[in-house]
Structure 1
Amino acid sequence: MRATTLWTALTLSTVFFAAQANAEKTTYANQTGQRTIGQESSAVGQFASGDWRVERQQVDQQGPQMPMQPGPNPYVAMDPYGQMMMPGMAAPYGVAPAGYGMPMEAGYGMAAPGQPMMDPNVMPASHMGGYGGCASCGGAGCQSCMGGRGGHFGGCQACGGAGCGGCCGLTGGGVYCGFSRGIGNAWDMSNYGGRCAPRYFDVSVDATFFMFEPGNANNTVLSSQAAANNPVLSTEDVDFNFQGGTRMTLQRSAFVGSYFEFSYLGMGNWSSLSSVSGAGDLFSPFSRFGVDPVGGYAETDNANFQSFATSNNFDSFELNLRRFFTSPNCWWQASYWVGFRYVRMADDSIYLTAGNTGSMIYTVDATNDMFGAQLGLDSTLKLTTRWSLTAFGEAGVYGNAATQKSTLDFTGGGPVYERATQRRASLVAEGGFMSTFRLAPRATLRAGYQVVYIDGVALSSDNFNFSTGGASPLGTALAGRAAVVNDNGNAVYHGPTVGFEYTW
């Protein structure tokens, strides 16, 4: 039932977010001199129109060209007297050599209408040679410069004679590259606004590998051997391994610089078992380990075997409105979002005791349904036009309906059913970091580490109720007690994630 409901929700959400999203990619500008870039057609639309064939034919007919001829290269700055300006040169006569690494009109940092400029920190070279070319390498492109330390043209002079390979790496180097800009325009494959565009995607899918760490409100001793002060089994004697899960995020344009975002996180299931064996000398907390009543109950004490098993899983659905903005130099970007989130955490435990005179199975199912609003933000540093690092965090206060359902089935009586529900405010916080690397114009690889913290929840191990008042037999002692909920527990899920982003 859980899997069917989940996949139905994801399928409907995918259809909703995909509708017309391919024609609504926008960027948002909030600094002086930068403009907002509006809608662009999708890759499917461009392919269907046949425009790409015309563009390809024009390029093939022109062939490799020298990029430094006056006029035709839009990445070359011209002073008022027609003199070509090399990247990094001082601008004569007050011409400001600023821009965003792409041909645009005045208002993007251009000197005047019709005088396109280039970013002086980005080397206008093709990493495979051909069209564009590295000016300091004779216009033949980095490929011709990268042979050993010099290549065909004796090395790219702008890189200190080390060849273009010295400044075409991920972190760059040399005069033209500058820190964090070694890839330059040659690898800038963004279709929506160049390096100043927010890091946008239509869908992302991650595989998660989380560890579950329950923050039990108290450690409960479940078994004592031969005497009340000799504990051999407790609720903390379990160990959880990393479990695989998934995270899927869908984005759809809302308005300029803002997006609706739907995200699902979950599917992991953590379980563990711990047990102890004896020779009729294991006592349970029902009798305060053989003290009250003296010698314990026949169904739960003087046991040969006792065990504790537990499992946990959670699912999270959230719908946010996200707003992007960029810094003036575009190498730092950020976004904030507000939205609603639903988190369901289920935690189950089984306590088993078996002996020569009787046995018992005590099962506790605890569920937490949390609804609430949240606020989040992230910060992205673009190390290159392909590679970025992002730190993110979000938190919200939620109304939690915590429920525990218990079943006590024992020889000679039962089963006894107990149920209780309690409402309270809970906290859900999430944070981590992510590194992304663009593999293709529309596909990006991502990997990082993530932590989810939930506070104010009912855990099954905290909701074992061993009170009997010393009454005997056991069935009579259990029949008159009241069901209660302990919702003071907390849980931490953390681990690495790896996945991809795609834009259509």
Structure 2
Amino acid sequence: MPPITPPAESAGPMEVVPPGMEDSTPLGVPEDLSSGPESVPMGEYGDYHALHQSNCDMWGCQPALTASSGTWLRRGWWYTEIEAVVLNRMWKRDDMTLGQDSGSTRKLLLKRSDPGAAGNVRLTLGRFLFRDVENRDHTIEFTAFGGGESTQDDTLTSSTDGQTLFVPTGISDFNPAFDGAESMVVDYDSRFNSFEVNYRVKERLRRDRMMLTPGGEWVRTTNEGLTKQFLFGLRYFDLVDTLDWSATNISTFANEDGNYHVVTNNDMFGVQLGCSLLYERDRWNVELMGKGGPYINDVKAKSRFTITNDEDSSYSVNNRDTTLSFIGEMQLVGRYHLRPNISLKAGWQMMYVSAVAIAPDQLNFSPDEGRFPYTGDPFYNGGIFGLECYW
């Protein structure tokens, strides 16, 4: 039997209230902005308890626990989100060969397409500002994201215990390198930290429906459907790469040991725009979100090449430049509302960063300063698990 809708009633005064606090004191909106009166309870547990005392069979004819957009969704002045984000990082499709063994087919590799996952933490603190005449909530929020580090390492030793290792010319560019080494070890780490401030506008669901229960009582329930959110903000994003490559017993440098250390730093600051589309029900919702924008990138690359007991062959290179970068993100997230102010969330995230300097691209065994590459475009994707709270 379809829901029975009561006759429409005359309009009454509308109140401007924080999310989910429709019973709070009016905040002074003019009386000519109106909505229909509420002549029934707002869907709290009291409605259910009243039905529970009736003669209806518990599992036969009683309705589900009532919920409404006023009592279950986004209820409070403040909100916080705590998320664990596990991201896998890739920066090119094929692996990067740093060293080879002339006596075998073994190689010293960096896996550019699958370097491993890193666990990150994202914290958001937001404040409700006001609700406009179009029934949209305006909020401002601060988000910190990062803390994880993608790492990988590899080792290559001579198959004959001799000086049979060499560096491909695509890396050394015919400069003196670790050719004739007995062993090589490489460690590569990459991390990022992000801080952003966003102004967000959130649509609310349409006015709740009135439904007649088998016990003859009208109750208020959520009118599920699609809503949109928009954001505008400022963001700082710091991406740091560190690569350490060492070799032992190098014949090119009189059987000495060597080390090649590279650090790149990308300090990006810019603006971002975003939009979300949500399908909302009384106890759960699904959200598709995308955001992105241009960033001014202060790019720095520092390289240090050292040979034990050979200062003439050692050198340091410092490069710096400014370029325009881009950062884009997309998320698909589902939420389940445990309580009026607590929700669990899980989903998938992708992030793309363009025009940045990454450490492996700086390897050239050259002491010359000047032009250096900052054309890296790392891509991140992985899972999201978190908790949202309102108060």
Q: Is TM (by shorter chain) over 0.5? A: yes
The 5 A counterparts of 1:468-479 are 478=367
Q: Which residue of 1 aligns with 2:273?
A: 375
Q: 2-side partners of 1:207 and 1:452: how far apart?
A: 15
Aligned to 1:390: 287
Work out the CA distance in 2 between the residues paired with 1:358 and 1:287: 23
For 1:497, the equivalent position in structure 2 comes to 384
What is the 5 A alignment of 1:98-497? 108=35, 110=36, 116=39, 130-133=49-52, 139-140=54-55, 144-146=57-59, 155-156=60-61, 164=62, 168=64, 186-188=65-67, 193-194=70-71, 202-215=79-92, 220-226=96-102, 232-236=107-111, 239-256=114-131, 257-278=137-158, 279-285=162-168, 300-326=178-204, 328=206, 329=223, 331-355=225-249, 357-382=255-280, 384-414=281-311, 415-467=314-366, 478=367, 481-497=368-384
Give a deviation string over 1:398-452, Cα, whole Å, max 9, x none. 0111110111111232341111011111110011111111112221111111111
Measured at CA, do residues 327 and 466 of structure 1 come closer, stay the same or move farther in structure 2, by a change above 3 Å?
A: same
The CA deviation at 1:284 is 2.1
- Between the aligned partners of 2:365 and 2:233, the Cα distance in structure 1 is 42
The answer on whether the counterparts of 1:314 and 1:346 sit within 8 Å (CA) in structure 2 is yes
Please say which structure displays the higher CA radius of gyration: 1
What do residues 213-237 of structure 1 show as CA deviations (whole Å, max 9, x unaligned)? 2238x9653213228x967234437
In 1, the alpha carbon distance for the partners of 2:90 and 2:19 equals: 47
Give, in angstroms, the shift of residue 259 of structure 1.
0.7
Q: Per residue, is there more strand in 1 or in 2?
A: 2
- Under a length normalisation based on structure 1, what TM-score does the superposition of the two structures give? 0.60
After superposition, the C-alpha distances for 1:107-143 in whole angstroms (9 at most, x for unaligned) are 64x5xx68x4799xxxx8979953245xxxx9346xx
Higher relative contact order (CA 8 A, sep 6+): 2
| TM-score in terms of structure 2 length | 0.76
Q: Retained in 1: the 8 A contact 2:125–2:141?
A: yes
Unaligned runs of 5+ in 2: 1-10, 25-32, 132-136, 207-222
Q: Name the SS for the 2:361 alignment partner.
A: helix
Q: Deviations over 1:265-324 (max 9, x none)?
A: 1111111001211131111247988x968xxx5x72211111222001001111011111
Shift in Å, 1:494: 1.6
**Matches of 2:388 and 2:12 in 1, distance apart?**
27
Per the alignment, do residues 41 and 402 of structure 1 end up closer, same or farther by CA in structure 2, a change over 3 Å counting?
closer
Correspondences of 1:45-64 after superposition (within 5 Å): none
Q: Cα–Cα, structure 1 residues 320 and 355, in superposed 2: closer, same or farther, change >3 Å?
A: same
Taking a change above 3 Å as real, the CA distance of residues 209 and 330 of structure 1, as seen in their structure-2 partners, is: same
Q: Larger helix proportion, structure 1 or 2?
A: 1
Aligned partner of 2:267: which letter?
Answer: D
Contact kept in structure 1, 2:19 and 2:75, CA below 8 Å:
no
Q: Is the 8 A contact 2:95 2:112 kept in 1?
A: no
Identity %: 22
Q: Structure 1 pair 354/237, CA: closer, same or farther in 2 (3 Å)? A: farther
Letter in 2 for 1:385: D
What is the Cα-based RMSD across aligned positions, in Å?
3.6
